[in-house]
């Protein structure tokens, strides 16, 4: 009797082990990594966003909603709106430039395909900060562009290209366009050519074919490209710092300032939470309009 009970216990234990051990062994390390590197820092940021600072800029752990109250003021609202406008413009330009380009790469059969793809990728083997500094030199009053324009007589005097909102948008487009082209390329590549032939056989003109067949079938790529351009755009503070001269701040600039010269980490943490909330809302919106989470590819 006693022996049987003990056996039963052992069997139970063994069963539990054989059911769960493989799962723990395979998923465990990843889960641990995610908890340590994603969940814990996020919780830390969230907790800090309710703290305050003392006169020496040290973080004081207490509960206060002041940070969020400050961030709802009209001045901050203006910067949120400004950065959303910058991000929106960047995204639109990325689609307008990226779509035809991706279509070209995906549909062409020529040997240029690989080369065109390389043209998108190669600049990314250099640090983006250096490339943005390069643009600052190129676009300066005594830079190459102005020199060329004046030499061939298009402009009489130097044109001020730098330190404008437009320059910031340009820099953002330049930095982020591959993130639009890559998902677009994948979705256009997957497009079944026979559907286009069928549409043509049924008498659809090229423009109509594009509108009713190509566009709906590649909308997933467009959405994921938009998300991947729009969201980093809100945070790329170095682009607006270098090319916008501090006149076109995005949310990332505000965060950077609070963590560095402002020395108000709790306020910076609250700003980061706001950025995360905006991001989550956008991803939710993306799901709502039927985007596939796998398409985001991140």
Partner 1 sequence: MKRFRRFISIAAAGVMMVGLLGGCGSSKKNDAGKNGEINVFVWTEYVPDSVFEKFEEETGIKVNVSTYSSNEDMLAKVKSETEGTYDIVLPSDYTVELMIEQGMLEELDQSKLTNLSNINEAYLDPSYDPGNKYSVPYQGGVAAIAVNTSMVDKDITSYDDLFDPSLKGELVVLDDYRAVIGMTARSMGYSMNETDPDKLAEIEDKLLTLKDNVALYDSDSPKSALISGDCSVGMIWGAEIALAMEEDPNIKVVYPEEGPYVFMDNWCILKGSKNYDNAMEFINFMLDADTAQMVSEEFPYLCPNKAAVEAMGEEYSGNIAKNPPEDVIAAGESVKNLDNDTLAIYNDMWTKLKK
The Cα–Cα gap between 282 and 87 comes to 13
User: Residue 206: how many CB atoms within 10 A of its CB?
Assistant: 11
Smallest separation, CB 59 to partner 1 (Å): 9
Smallest separation, CB 170 to partner 1 (Å): 16
Which residue number, 80 or 286, has a Cβ lying nearer to partner 1? 80
3 state DSSP class of 60: strand
**Which CA distances in Å does 216 have to 128, 219, 285, 291?**
33, 5, 17, 12
Question: Do 113 and 119 touch, CB atoms closer than 8 A?
Answer: no
Which residue number, 103 or 143, has a Cβ lying nearer to partner 1? 143
Which residue number, 8 or 160, has a Cβ lying nearer to partner 1? 160
Which residue number, 153 or 157, has a Cβ lying nearer to partner 1? 157
Question: Do 263 and 222 touch, CB atoms closer than 8 A?
Answer: no
Question: Do 225 and 173 touch, CB atoms closer than 8 A?
Answer: no
Smallest separation, CB 219 to partner 1 (Å): 20
Smallest separation, CB 163 to partner 1 (Å): 4
Smallest separation, CB 107 to partner 1 (Å): 14
CA-angle at 36, arms to 34 and 42, nearest 5°: 85
Smallest separation, CB 5 to partner 1 (Å): 55
Which residue number, 199 or 229, has a Cβ lying nearer to partner 1? 229
Which residue number, 26 or 126, has a Cβ lying nearer to partner 1? 126
Q: Whats the size of the chain, residue-wise?
A: 298
3 state DSSP class of 105: helix
Angle separating helix axes 251-259 and 74-107, nearest 10 degrees: 120
- Contact residues for partner 1, defined by CB under 8 A: 53-58, 75-76, 78-79, 82, 113-114, 117-118, 121, 124-125, 127-129, 137, 140-143, 158, 160, 162-163, 175, 178-179, 182, 185, 232, 236, 238, 245-247, 249, 253-254, 257, 259-265, 298
Which residue number, 218 or 253, has a Cβ lying nearer to partner 1? 253
User: Residue 94: how many CB atoms within 10 A of its CB?
Assistant: 26
Q: Left if phi > 0, otherwise alpha if psi is -120 to 50, otherwise beta: which for 263?
A: left
Question: In angstroms, how far is the first alpha carbon of the chain from the final one?
Answer: 57
Smallest separation, CB 185 to partner 1 (Å): 8
Smallest separation, CB 10 to partner 1 (Å): 48
Residue 120 CA, chain-centre distance (Å), reads 17
Which residue number, 48 or 213, has a Cβ lying nearer to partner 1? 48
The Cα–Cα gap between 250 and 176 comes to 15
């Amino acid at each position: 009797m006693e022996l049987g009970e003990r056996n039963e216990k052992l069997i139970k234990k063994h069963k539990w082990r054989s059911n769960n051990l493989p799962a723990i062994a395979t998923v465990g390390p990843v889960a641990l990594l995610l908890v340590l590197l994603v969940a814990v820092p996020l919780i830390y940021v969230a907790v800090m966003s309710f703290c305050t600072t003392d006169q020496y800029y040290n973080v004081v752990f207490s509960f206060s909603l002041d940070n969020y109250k400050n961030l709802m003021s009209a001045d901050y609202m203006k910067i949120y709106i400004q950065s959303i406008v910058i991000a929106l413009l960047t995204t639109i330009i990325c689609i307008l430039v990226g779509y035809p380009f991706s279509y070209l790469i995906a549909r062409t059969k020529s040997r240029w395909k690989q080369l065109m793809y390389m043209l998108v990728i190669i600049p990314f083997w250099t640090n983006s900060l250096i490339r943005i500094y390069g643009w600052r030199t190129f676009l300066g009053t005594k830079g190459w562009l102005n020199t060329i324009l004046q030499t061939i007589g298009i402009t009489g005097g130097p044109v001020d290209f730098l330190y404008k909102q437009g320059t910031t948008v340009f820099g953002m487009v330049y930095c982020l366009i591959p993130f639009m082209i890559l998902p677009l390329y994948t979705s256009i590549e997957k497009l079944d050519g026979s559907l286009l032939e069928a549409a043509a056989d049924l008498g659809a003109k090229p423009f109509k074919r594009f509108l009713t067949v190509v566009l709906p079938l590649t909308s997933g790529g467009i959405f994921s490209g938009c998300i991947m351009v729009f969201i980093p755009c809100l945070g790329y503070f170095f682009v607006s710092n270098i090319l916008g001269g501090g006149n076109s701040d995005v949310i990332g600039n505000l965060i950077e300032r609070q963590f560095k010269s402002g020395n108000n980490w709790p306020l910076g943490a609250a700003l980061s939470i706001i950025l995360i909330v905006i991001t989550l809302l956008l991803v939710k919106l993306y799901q709502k309009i039927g985007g596939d989470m796998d398409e985001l590819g991140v």
